[in-house]
C-alpha cells in the first residue's frame, strides 16, 4: 500500500453529513491524519466563504480547493495560490441566457455564492428542504443576481444553476457547449456548474501535488459527485463514497461507507492510517 502524503476530501456528500456538518468521529479522524504528517486538502465545489468553520478554522489544514478548482487558497497566508475564473463577459452572457430556462441562477464572486431573493424558496424546495434555518450560511441573498453581477463587474469563480430535473439541464448545457470553451460539471443531480476551461478539482490537486513535490501514487482522494471524478482518477488512491453517483463508482474499485456513516473518515483510516475499521 502506498504511503499517503497528500489527501484531498470533498465536503458535501463526503466529509459532511446531510445536515451539512462533519461528525465528531470525522473531525477526530482528520486530526489523526494530520498527526501522521499528511497534507490534508479540502476540495469543494463551494465558494470559499461558505466552507464550515469547523474545518476552515483548523490551523493545520493549509490548502483549500474551492469552486471545483477555480481557486486554490492558502488558509495559513490568506491568499490565492492560483485562480482561474470565468470572464465577466462569458459569465454575464450565460446568466442572461439562463433566464430563458426554469432554473435558479447563482454566481460565485470574490469568495461568496450569490442568489436572487426570488429564487431562494425554489432552491430550498429543490436542494435544501431540511436546511431552511441554515440558508444564510450557504448563500448570500441579493435582490437580483444578474443585476448584482453587473454592478460588481467582476469575473465569476463559478456559475451554478439548479433545475427541476436532471433532464431539464440539457438545453442550457448544450447551448454553453456550442458557444463557449468552458468546463461543465455538477455536484448534484439537479445542478449544472460552469467553470473556466481546464478547471477541475483533479487539476487543482495535481497542481498542489506538483508544488509540494508529491508523486500521484502518494496522493489520496475521496468524493461522491461528478465534480470529484477527475480528482479521484488523478489520485493514486482514489476512493468513492458509498453514496456516490454511478459514474463516480465506475472510476474506482475502492468504495467506502456513505456520508451518514462516516465513509470519508473510514476511508482515511483504511487507506491512510492503514487500520481495519
Q: Which of 195, 221, 251 is the last residue of a domain?
A: 195
Could you give the count of Cα atoms lying within 13 Å of 60 in the half-sphere of its Cβ?
Answer: 12
pLDDT score of 138: 86
As for how many domains the chain has, the answer is 2
Tally helices (H) and strands (E) across the chain: 11, 13
- Over its length of 277 residues, how does the chain's per-residue pLDDT go in tens digits? 789 999 999 999 999 999 999 999 999 999 999 999 999 999 999 999 999 999 999 999 999 999 999 999 999 999 999 999 999 999 999 999 999 999 999 999 999 999 999 999 998 888 888 778 878 788 999 999 999 999 999 999 999 999 999 999 999 999 999 999 999 999 999 999 999 999 999 999 999 999 999 999 999 999 999 999 999 999 999 999 999 999 999 999 999 999 999 999 999 999 999 877 6
| Domain identity same for 100 and 131 | yes
**Domain span including residue 51:** 6-84+199-271
| Domain identity same for 251 and 158 | no
pLDDT score of 277: 64
Q: Which of 195, 228, 263 is the last residue of a domain?
A: 195
CA distance 166 to 225: 14
| Domain identity same for 189 and 93 | yes
| Domain identity same for 186 and 57 | no
Q: Which of 171, 195, 219 is the last residue of a domain?
A: 195
| Domain identity same for 188 and 92 | yes
> Grid coordinates 492560483 are at which residue?
82
Could you give the count of Cα atoms lying within 13 Å of 144 in the half-sphere of its Cβ?
Answer: 8
CA distance 202 to 154: 25
| Domain identity same for 80 and 203 | yes
pLDDT score of 81: 97
Q: Is 54 helix (H, G, I), strand (E, B) or coil?
A: helix
| Domain identity same for 265 and 223 | yes
Check which CATH number belongs to the domain holding 219 and give it.
3.40.50.1000
| Domain identity same for 67 and 101 | no
| Domain identity same for 188 and 145 | yes
| Domain identity same for 64 and 102 | no
- Nearest CA to 141 out of 161, 112, 114 is that of 114
| Domain identity same for 153 and 225 | no
Amino acid at each position: 500500500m502506498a504511503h499517503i502524503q497528500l489527501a484531498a476530501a470533498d465536503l458535501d456528500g463526503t466529509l459532511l453529513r446531510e445536515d451539512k456538518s462533519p461528525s465528531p468521529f470525522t473531525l477526530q479522524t482528520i486530526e489523526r491524519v494530520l498527526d501522521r504528517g499528511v497534507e490534508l486538502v479540502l476540495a469543494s465545489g463551494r465558494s470559499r466563504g461558505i466552507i464550515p468553520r469547523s474545518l476552515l478554522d483548523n490551523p493545520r489544514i493549509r490548502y483549500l480547493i474551492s469552486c471545483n478548482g477555480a481557486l486554490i487558497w492558502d488558509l495559513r497566508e490568506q491568499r490565492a495560490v492560483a485562480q482561474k475564473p470565468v470572464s465577466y463577459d462569458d459569465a454575464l452572457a450565460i446568466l442572461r441566457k439562463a433566464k430563458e430556462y426554469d432554473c435558479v441562477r447563482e454566481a460565485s464572486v470574490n469568495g461568496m455564492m450569490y442568489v436572487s431573493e426570488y429564487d431562494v424558496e425554489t432552491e430550498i424546495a429543490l436542494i435544501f428542504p431540511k436546511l431552511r434555518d441554515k440558508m444564510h450560511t450557504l448563500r448570500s441573498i441579493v435582490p437580483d443576481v444578474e443585476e448584482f453581477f453587473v454592478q460588481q463587474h467582476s469575473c465569476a469563480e463559478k456559475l451554478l444553476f439548479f433545475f427541476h430535473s436532471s433532464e431539464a439541464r440539457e438545453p442550457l448545457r448544450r447551448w454553453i457547449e456550442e458557444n463557449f470553451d468552458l468546463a461543465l460539471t455538477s455536484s448534484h443531480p439537479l445542478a449544472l456548474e460552469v467553470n473556466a476551461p481546464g478547471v477541475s478539482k483533479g487539476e487543482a490537486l495535481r497542481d498542489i501535488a506538483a508544488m509540494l513535490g508529491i508523486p500521484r501514487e502518494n496522493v489520496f482522494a475521496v468524493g461522491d459527485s461528478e465534480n470529484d471524478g477527475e480528482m479521484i482518477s488523478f489520485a493514486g488512491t482514489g476512493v468513492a463514497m458509498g453514496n456516490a453517483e454511478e459514474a463516480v463508482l465506475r472510476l474506482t474499485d475502492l468504495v467506502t461507507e456513505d456520508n451518514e456513516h462516516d465513509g470519508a473518515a473510514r476511508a482515511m483510516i483504511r487507506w491512510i492510517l492503514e487500520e481495519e475499521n
